[in-house]
Chains A and B, each alone.
Chain A
């Protein structure tokens, strides 16, 4: 399962909605184009500055709103290694894990500051803030989903299972 080391924290508040993550205006367009507008209503520089391995940190109810999984897909496309939040909207949480985007519930997410360097061990459910030296416990990924997440998401997981069946 994903472990990322030294990614920069991009910090957002509560109730970050799917329409900010994946604006309706670009829903028809390829993911490359949609992802370039991810969160622009909040921070027009985000999609341009975020790099592979960086981490999105947020407050309560991250991903509220629509079922559009492009919300999670856009973050993944931009290289975001994990989303760490105090809580997630249930629908977004399922979508993120199904797409292989690590989503961790961390009660201490509000202790992380923009630009902090983080090390995230999803399997162990632990975040180390390399900038402050603090360590934060996260809720473990639901055990029944561990294999799916290890496989990289629902689709590769199903692919593996179907292959096994046909052998």
Chain B
């Protein structure tokens, strides 16, 4: 019997000819990524206590993205410690305030198909869009990896999620994911792997694929994966990554999946998840009219260049409603530069958007853009847990960048297709 892509990568990392779901194996880690929150400030004292050094600094990437730029002396101290530690540990791949780790990691060429990687953040599955098995771990477990270069895994079962058809204009990967959160649920996958496939997935550009693997975390998956194809190869080429074996990282034809799910892209409408969970989703039209105090386009999930393009497509020649505010935090400095060069930033700011620094910021309840008691926010981020973006009584809805931008124009939750159609007619 054949193996799934996840099983093949784990087998390779464990030095085994094959593995089966449920087996417990020890894997060699190809890449370990940490950020400033769960990284050096937490692992440094542990390494000290163990009297141990980093097993291989060339396999470690540190990205300061949570407390950037420092907003108080606590965050400044965390950043100072991070900068000092990477030097003393000999970690050369350090990205300081260059953007959010899950975006910067592939952007700077650290992600390749077939890699077995760990990240000190729950959205680490993002790298699965490139066919890399990457999952989130806590700081203590990261310290273990840094000392030994190894980690145990219980080989996960793989769920196959097949998307037939083609997405309509105004409907995007975020809508697919919010629909999956509702239909699959958050506790069904139970630390399995979700592998996305089908013609609608094949048609997605890389940044959109990353939305699906990123939010596999919300589905409760250990990671999400998409088999490398021509889109992957081209995007790796654009980044400058040489991966001649990219297309060999695929599930076998006779691989076993614990369950197959099917969805229809043609029938999908823009989705909105209501407070306080991503699975509390429904077609955007069901929430139409809900007044919004803050619209947020940000985070690893929803502020890539393609996300900014969606927002600009809606906002070109329009204004943000006076009853709301639109905050935009591009996911990386490189994305900011690209959006500046192609005119996207000007379109956004002319519409009245407020630009924020690249970082986890308001999404993680850390930086600028937090919510007051009872305020309502529509956000392109991944999580709308109670209290996550500020006050406990704040209400966070989730939607695509199209939906957030269209709602910024009206000041109320709005199906973006109406706004986009207006433009097409004009």
Contacts and interface: CB of A to CB of B under 8 A. Distances in A.
A158 B50 contact: yes
B50 A159 contact: yes
B3 to A, nearest CB: 21
A112 B277 CA distance: 25
Given A68-B38, A90-B222, A162 B137 contact: no
Most A CB contacts (10 A, CB to CB) among B187, B217, B222 go to B187
Given A27-B37, A158-B50, A144 B122 contact: no
Given A67-B38, A158-B144, A144 B24 contact: yes
Interface stretch (B196-204, B290-298, B385-393): B385-393
B143 interface: yes
Nearest to A93: B191
Contacts of B143: 154-155, 158
B152 A144 contact: yes
A60 B24 CA distance: 24
Interface in B153-208: 154, 186-187, 190-191
A93 B46 CA distance: 20
A91 B138 contact: yes
Contacts of A15: 186-187, 277
Contacts of A158: 50, 52, 143-144, 147-148
Interface stretch (A46-54, A94-102, A115-123, A124-132): A94-102
Nearest to A157: B144
B122 A66 contact: yes
B49 A90 contact: no
B75 A19 contact: no
B330 to A, nearest CB: 21
Secondary structure dominating the interface of B: loop
A71 B120 CA distance: 14
Contacts of B385: 17, 19-20, 65
B140 A91 contact: no
A14 B186 CA distance: 10
A29 interface: yes
A144 B153 CA distance: 11
Contact of A87 (B52, B147, B187, B392): B187
A61 interface: yes
B51 interface: yes
A89 interface: yes
Nearest to A30: B74
B154 A67 contact: no
Interface in B359-387: 364-366, 383, 385-387
Given A95-B140, A158-B144, A65 B122 contact: yes
A28 interface: yes
A154 B154 contact: no
A104 B38 CA distance: 25
A42 B392 CA distance: 9
B144 to A, nearest CB: 5
A9 B234 CA distance: 55
A153 interface: yes
A67 B121 contact: yes
A137 interface: no
A154 B46 CA distance: 11
B122 A24 contact: no
B286 interface: no
B365 A89 contact: no
B388 A95 contact: no
A72 B364 CA distance: 18
Contacts of A19: 365, 383, 385-388
A79 interface: no
A23 interface: yes
A59 to B, nearest CB: 9
B100 interface: no
Contacts of B186: 15, 61, 64
Given A61-B187, A154-B141, A27 B366 contact: yes
B162 to A, nearest CB: 24
17 contacts: A28-B67, A61-B220, A64-B186, A66-B122, A67-B119, A67-B138, A68-B38, A90-B191, A91-B122, A91-B137, A93-B191, A98-B140, A99-B140, A155-B46, A158-B50, A159-B50, A162-B50
Interface of B: 24, 37-38, 46, 49-52, 67, 72, 74-75, 78, 119-122, 124, 135-141, 143-144, 147-148, 152, 154, 186-187, 190-191, 217, 220, 222, 277, 364-366, 383, 385-388, 392
| Top 5 A-B residue pairs of the complex, sorted by shortest distance between their CB atoms | A24-B365, A90-B191, A69-B138, A61-B187, A95-B138
